[in-house]
Chains A and B, each alone.
Chain A
């Protein structure tokens, strides 16, 4: 690799959103550690640093997979909750069941719920925002009807299972390792397999994808099944991590997962961004929540900071992208001229290429 391509590669790396988020995470951790060394060092500091974001990372990967296809899955938190409760319930009702089987069934539960989402969205051709808002209510309602006021306690769960939630391998929490493996697998599939690339194509412009002969509905369906399975996995891990599952497990995480994806550079209009970015976004969000009290910012202000961060991230995306569009315009004046003059909303017609500049 010669010097020039190395510089070019470096420039690309700097411009990537993932790099920005990593820098933000490093600065945040560094600064917080200076103020309070116990944040990263000490017996629990490092473990919690990695353990806290693990579940949200998996949910963010799930959410990003769906958003890339220009859909959204608001039901992830309810799928997590229902799978977590089902897992606890299986251990309670069948104390002799092998742990691996329960784990598999818990994930299968999520996959089934994701299949319902995917079927409704892709077969009935109804917008995912509405469908998953509906299933968010329905799945959460089922949890509540099923669990009532009961909660699964540590006493109901096998010790080997709950030990998973806090176990470490070489100082690194198992849960975090699981999250990283999930991330690596999904990132590879999306970036290097045909189906994965097709999901980006579908998200960029689904009409063009149809004309190109891509199985649009099947890819959207696949996205939802993947999202449901990952949320199911997160549910199983939730049960292991907290050893307490009530009917409200994971409540409100649906919008955190969207926020994580957006902060990580996944475009809400589909077709752009990576699951790595989304997972880093989740790491940043979870770490901010832990860091703010240490930094002397009242713990109650966390959410305001998160909101500012989301808005900052999308405005930044917009600015970078507008600059690129301008540069493109000067080199391809005619092409850019043909595509200028559009005003798009999130739910604007899908025929329009989603990544056009607004003059």
Chain B
């Protein structure tokens, strides 16, 4: 029951490619992208070392897991669901790589098994949400504990380290030689971002994801198989989280059960700061990438400015709240102007 008919900028109707790209870039996303650039400029001119290649390199390395998982998470949230089990899947994948490596498996095979576990875990989430029909928030709070529990159960407080350096280099090598800013693993992210971006914004599947998020019932009547779509989206978050787990293990040279504990909220924060509506149906990949980078920048800046690393949480929290309140206030103002003319409407606690 909306009282204001807000224009849905990302509603995918058949429009020319260029126009669609423009609408994505000029909407909410543009604001966040501009913000990322502004923070960058202010940071570079006021904080020493912020613009140094080495700082950028570590900023990107740190934000990569968020960037990776945020891609499929965007699709899940756009479809009207949520997946809180991603960080636990990351931990489980990390532990699997570690345990299998301990048993003498080659890393690539161990990583492949970890990705397989990601598919299985995602399928479990998807099954419970779509076939059984349970709310994804409750399901993934459960699997969050389950996956983390298996991870911690397998390794206890032990940590597996000593991975072969050729694999560790895969995760932390710089693309353009020593001293440069871009980590090579960023290429993996760029490929995935392209895949997910095209999938969400330029295919029938992507349009169906938006439709499912906007109104599952209408989508069903339009012949969209909503459960099947959501099932695949959960497999997406599962397998990409597992990939992030492999990355995490190799980058820190450490497979532990508690790797990335509490990380799910950082991913959700990045997605929401990136302009995705928690109700589904709205949001875009470019904005989410900017949202994750913004959080990474804030962290890096405050760390350089000698602010306690964890007090950064205040910044993330405020950013998150502002990102939902601002559009609300704007649309409220707009609605206030139009409502004067169409009086008699009431405002329930919508959403």
Query: What is the interface of chain A, defined by CB distance below 8 A to chain B?
Result: 72, 74, 120, 122, 124-127, 129-131, 133-142, 144-145, 148, 202, 206-207, 210, 216-217, 220, 247, 251-252, 255, 258-259, 262, 268-269, 298, 300-308, 310-311, 314-315, 318, 341-352, 358
Contacts and interface: CB of A to CB of B under 8 A. Distances in A.
A162 B144 CA distance: 35
A249 B40 CA distance: 34
B138 interface: yes
Contact of B1 (A202, A302, A346, A351): A351
Nearest to B148: A303
A251 B156 CA distance: 20
Contact of A304 (B129, B145, B347): B145
Contact of B156 (A120, A126, A298, A342): A298
Contacts of B262: 251-252
B346 interface: yes
A137 to B, nearest CB: 3
A347 B280 contact: yes
A207 B1 contact: yes
B310 interface: yes
Contact of B149 (A258, A307, A345): A307
A310 B138 contact: yes
Of B157, B319, B321, most buried by chain A (CB within 10 Å of CB) is B321
Nearest to A312: B142
29 contacts: A122-B349, A133-B269, A134-B269, A136-B317, A137-B269, A137-B314, A141-B314, A144-B313, A145-B308, A145-B314, A148-B308, A210-B348, A268-B135, A300-B152, A303-B148, A304-B148, A307-B149, A310-B145, A311-B139, A311-B143, A341-B220, A342-B216, A343-B220, A345-B81, A346-B137, A348-B279, A350-B1, A350-B351, A358-B133
B80 A348 contact: yes
Q: A-side binding surface: helix, strand, loop or mixed?
A: helix
A268 B142 CA distance: 12
Contacts of A140: 310, 313, 317
A98 B156 CA distance: 44
B138 A268 contact: yes
A125 B347 CA distance: 10
Given A130-B272, A144-B310, A216 B80 contact: no
A344 B148 contact: no
B215 interface: yes
A312 B86 CA distance: 20
A124 B329 contact: yes
Interface residues of B, number: 70
Given A133-B269, A268-B135, A124 B149 contact: no
Contacts of A258: 141
Contact of A259 (B141, B217, B349): B141
B148 A120 contact: no
Given A216-B348, A341-B217, A141 B132 contact: no
A307 B148 contact: yes
A76 B350 CA distance: 24
Of A141, A217, A306, A344, most buried by chain B (CB within 10 Å of CB) is A141
A223 to B, nearest CB: 12
A130 B134 contact: no
Contacts of B5: none
A189 B328 CA distance: 33
A134 B220 CA distance: 34
B349 A216 contact: yes
A347 B279 contact: yes
B192 interface: no
B268 interface: yes
Given A72-B137, A315-B134, A345-B216, 6 more contacts: A125-B328, A125-B347, A258-B141, A302-B149, A303-B152, A344-B216
Contacts of B64: none
Of A315, A346, A358, most buried by chain B (CB within 10 Å of CB) is A346
B4 to A, nearest CB: 11
Contact of A134 (B141, B145, B147, B317): B317
B136 A310 contact: no
Contact of A308 (B146, B226, B314): B146
A272 to B, nearest CB: 12
B279 A127 contact: yes
Nearest to A357: B133
